[in-house]
């Protein structure tokens, strides 16, 4: 699988893992303290070839994603679930641990942000679905984010993420049906 866009990752181990899965060029941020020079490179690459942000599904990865998203609107995003990013379940989590097929799957399901799009999912929809508050809200958001392949976010950020990536009411409803089946034990997540 050849990827024309440049994939932005956190470090050299991520680059090695990406190259096991696909034929692509990468740019490494070398951590969450992204320099202005690196942001300028990402912007230039976005204009010339396109950029896919592919960071770890953790706090640092989300911080990097947010910094890039704000500095370079219109980048594409690839997401790994926490399970796919830690297949051995020994605590270490990241793109560098993902199975090559999980990486290819994430790259087949890209999202492009739509910063000025009209919201499709309301905050009320999230409250009614038990995704903002309540004893199970955090677990429900995690399952929903994995199903929709948009990553895990807190309650405040869920509204923004769903609408930023233009998740349709139909996609949201399908995710809620999946969530209910998981909670009822009818399917494994």
CB-CB contact of 100 with 21 (8 Å): yes
Torsion angle of the four alpha carbons 172, 128, 152, 68, in this order, in degrees rounded to the nearest 10: 80
Q: Do 106 and 123 have their domain in common?
A: no
119 and 107, same structural domain?
no
> 109 and 126, same structural domain?
no
User: Which CATH number characterizes residue 6's domain?
Assistant: 3.40.1360.10
What gap in Å lies between CA 4 and CA 2, rounded to an integer? 6
pLDDT of residue 11: 93
pLDDT at 116: 66
Instruction: Kindly state whether residues 39 and 104 are assigned to the same domain.
Output: yes
Q: Are 105 and 117 in contact (CB under 8 A)?
A: no
Q: What is the pLDDT of residue 89?
A: 59
Please give the backbone phi and psi of residue 2, each rounded to the nearest 5 degrees, phi first.
-100, 130
Domain with 170 in it: 115-189
Query: Positive or negative CA dihedral for 104, 152, 82, 186?
Result: negative
pLDDT in tens, the chain (189 residues): 899 999 999 999 999 999 999 999 999 998 888 999 999 999 999 999 999 999 998 889 989 998 998 899 889 999 988 888 886 656 678 899 899 999 999 999 888 876 666 778 999 999 999 999 888 999 999 999 989 988 888 888 899 889 878 889 999 999 999 999 999 888 887
User: What does the pLDDT read at residue 182?
Assistant: 92
Residues facing 8 on adjacent strands: 27, 53
Task: Please report the pLDDT score of residue 114 as a whole number.
Answer: 67
Residues 101 and 142 grouped into a single domain: no
Per-residue pLDDT, 25: 96
Query: What's the number of domains the chain is made of?
Result: 2
- 3-class DSSP state for residue 76? strand
Whether residue 30 contacts residue 10, with contact meaning beta carbons closer than 8 Å, is answered with yes
């Amino acid at each position: 699988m050849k990827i024309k866009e440049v994939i932005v990752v956190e470090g050299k181990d991520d680059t090695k893992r990406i190259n096991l899965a696909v034929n692509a060029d990468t740019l490494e941020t070398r951590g969450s303290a992204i320099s202005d020079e690196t942001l300028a490179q990402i912007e230039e690459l976005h204009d010339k070839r396109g950029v896919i942000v592919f960071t770890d599904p953790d706090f640092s990865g989300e911080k990097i994603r947010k910094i890039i998203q704000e500095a370079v609107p219109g980048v594409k995003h690839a997401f790994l679930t926490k399970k796919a990013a830690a297949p051995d379940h020994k605590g270490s989590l990241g793109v560098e641990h993902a199975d090559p097929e999980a990486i290819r799957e994430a790259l087949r399901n890209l999202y492009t942000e739509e910063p000025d799009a009209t919201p499709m999912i309301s905050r009320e929809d999230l409250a009614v679905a038990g995704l903002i508050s309540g004893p199970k809200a955090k677990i429900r958001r995690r399952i929903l984010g994995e199903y929709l392949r948009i990553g895990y976010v807190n309650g405040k950020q869920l509204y923004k993420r769903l609408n930023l990536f233009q998740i349709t009411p139909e996609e949201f409803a399908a995710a809620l049906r999946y969530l209910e089946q998981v909670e009822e034990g009818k399917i494994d997540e």
